[in-house]
A and B are shown apart, each in its own frame.
Chain A
């Protein structure tokens, strides 16, 4: 057979509220050794969404180099986050400030927020009570709210019910690189949230250490992965950014293709019939 072309099937877009993306990898903008490297890694990862934090402007000693000069605001949708907030009140203030900043920049990301309400600085685990309170307020204020949360299936259901546009369970603690520690909880979250609403987006946020973690998340049926440290702090960040792009594509294709069930015993892939005469099994 000659000339046959096998084309990779085109995936449906990821839809979160009014937003639509073809690429399901979301990146962060922190921890890079240079803004140039961040920009190159973003391109290598093929992400369409990147998340940014809101912080005080420097009033003195400003270097004149701004993150904003290294983000392609025409191509990227910026996802403002409330990173570093330890209360619902602080997170709400940060969300409003992020919306204002992105409105002034004319970026579509003004309408959404990655909500983080953290419990303590040592574990950076989310505070479930403040997370719920802030979600409710921000949804009422018209935000498209993507909520960073633990992998607790009950909390995830509560957040969806409150109007979160996407629930973003942590695979493991932020920046820990431990990967997906409890795939069973993620499976339950996916079943609960997507059972009667298959398009509801569940995105793994935090904990990714290596490309295989991204594939695992996607193979479970998650709709996307958000990561930062795994690229920015890798030995060769640019190479890792490429790896993450491939890992996401591989995991997603594998999920859509449908994996074989796991079996206890072997199943030969070559026919047993037609073997030449031999000794056969010893046991």
Chain B
């Protein structure tokens, strides 16, 4: 069992897994998100090869409505 911080929340997975597999587990389409691991961007082409071993801080972001004042979440 590993624990990962994703978007500020703790998530558990049974074993280390790739970024790509993690997105699958979360039900997120890889073409609509961008992923940072420990503040470093992991490009989509590297999702399959980048392993999450546990303890990482992951940010998964998408595009939302926003002009200048900050993003909206509907």
Contact = CB atoms under 8 A, between A and B. Distances in A.
Given A55-B73, A56-B7, A59-B9, A100 B67 contact: no
A84 interface: yes
B66 A29 contact: yes
Contact of B65 (A38, A93, A98, A103): A38
Interface in A165-220: 174-175, 205-206
A31 B68 contact: no
A276 interface: no
Contacts of B41: 93, 96-97, 100
Given A35-B74, A104-B30, A226 B63 contact: no
A57 interface: yes
A67 B71 CA distance: 11
State the main secondary structure of chain B at its contact with A. mixed
Contacts of B71: 30, 53-55, 83-84
B67 A51 contact: yes
Interface string B42-68: 011000000000000001111111111
A145 interface: no
Contacts of B6: 59
Contact of A206 (B7, B30, B63, B68): B68
B69 A174 contact: yes
Given A55-B73, A56-B59, A29 B65 contact: yes
A83 B26 contact: no
A68 B61 contact: no
Interface in A54-99: 54-59, 63, 65-68, 78, 80-81, 83-84, 93, 96-98
A124 B68 contact: yes
A101 interface: yes
The 6 closest A-B pairs by CB, nearest first: A28-B67, A228-B67, A53-B66, A53-B71, A84-B70, A100-B34
7 contacts: A30-B72, A81-B67, A83-B69, A93-B36, A97-B59, A100-B41, A226-B68
